[in-house]
Copies of this chain bind each other. A is one copy, B any other.
Amino acid sequence: MTTYRDAGVDIAAGDETVDRIKGLVRQTFTPGVLADIGAFGGFFELPSGYQAPVLVSSIDGVGTKLKVAVRAGQHDTVGQDLVNHCVNDIAVCGARPLFFLDYFGTGRLDPDVAEQIVSGFVAACKENGCALVGGETAEMPGIYDDGDYDLAGCIVGIVERDGVVDGSRVEAGDVLLALPSTGLHTNGYSLARAVLFEHFEVDDRPDELGGESVGEALLRVHRSYLDAIQALIADDLAHGFAHITGGGIEGNTSRIVPDGLGLEIDWDSWNRPAIFNLIGRLGEVPEEDMRSTFNLGAGLVAVVPPEKRAHAIAVWDAMGETPFEIGHVTG
């Protein structure tokens, strides 16, 4: 059994697994990673070219989406969920990710599960240009039941001091442009599980989901909006961005709206993805709870001045995104 501490991934597993994981992690290394110094990863040289660099950091978990992964026996998506969620949380203020670290707490460590989880971190880190520089794996049977685990991820990014997007420029009349979510992302799973597993197994394919299984629909990866956000920032097209997580569209968008202004959301102006309608119908969930628990199909909201609306839509269209308008800021 090799204790693997290189690149900060602390995991005891068979040599083959360790080598594979080591190889995977190294694929994420960006030029800033100083892999030749120190006994563990985690040395990162700041990129040059910043006048007044500000580090932006965030830490998060995956929530009970993990229980769906365990139930479905599929562990290669939750690592992506975690990285993308973290990236989005710092991207909305204009930051670019630099590096990511993960914590994996479990009962008995299953090397195959560990490798799947790490592969998820790696895939998403590569996609976001973010180095995976540290990790801790804790085997604690007294705290986690067999097969259960928890994940936490910490991301550090960078933004120019005067490039921070904080919503202070948001004005009455600004338009709310949304980008679709891929599904629930990483919020609302306690309610979703309570409702759906009352009626279905993970492999069931209810008609409403058009061929997808319940497990597949629930495990769809929380996507990254980094490139989409950066594209609007590059042309100064938005006054603010909201990553739609716990609290829903209104809860999250209201955070970047200055005091004294409000939001008007036209909840009927877009088609909600089937998974939300299925949960709402089967669980007889009040509309108010649907709106505060789920993203309802909008994963990112950009707050755009009306005169830049067409330009913002064009930029997103050109990237293959499919924006839709969901409301505006009120005075």
Give CA–CA (A255, B10) in the complex, Å: 14
Give CA–CA (A98, B46) in the complex, Å: 14
B-contact 0/1 string along A5-38, CB 8 Å cutoff: 1001000000000000000000000000010011
In-complex Cβ contact of A55 among B66, B67, B156, B161 (8 A): B156
CB of A38, distance to nearest CB on chain B (Å): 5
Give CA–CA (A237, B227) in the complex, Å: 48
The segment from A136-144, A268-276, A279-287 found at the interface with B is A136-144
B37 touching A103, Cβ below 8 Å: no
Which A290-315 residues have a C-beta within 8 angstroms of B? none
Residues in B with CB closer than 8 Å to A140 are: 63-64, 150, 190
Q: Contacts A38-B164, A55-B44; is A61 near B103 (CB within 8 Å)?
A: yes
In-complex Cβ contact of A59 among B55, B101, B149 (8 A): B101
B-contact 0/1 string along A249-278, CB 8 Å cutoff: 000000110000000000000000000000
CB of A329, distance to nearest CB on chain B (Å): 16
Give CA–CA (A150, B105) in the complex, Å: 8
Residues in B with CB closer than 8 Å to A143 are: 64, 66-67, 144, 148-150
CB of A184, distance to nearest CB on chain B (Å): 15
Instruction: Say whether A54 faces chain B, with CB atoms less than 8 Å apart.
Output: yes
Give CA–CA (A99, B133) in the complex, Å: 17
B45 touching A54, Cβ below 8 Å: yes
Q: Which of A3, A5, A90, A154 has the most CB of B within 10 A?
A: A154
Residues in B with CB closer than 8 Å to A150 are: 105, 138, 140, 143-144, 150
Instruction: Say whether A232 faces chain B, with CB atoms less than 8 Å apart.
Output: no
**Interface set of A (CB-CB < 8 Å, partner B):** 3, 5, 8, 34, 37-40, 42-46, 52-61, 63-64, 66-67, 90, 93, 98-99, 101-103, 105, 133-136, 138, 140, 142-144, 148-150, 152, 154, 156, 161, 164, 166-167, 190, 193, 247, 255-256
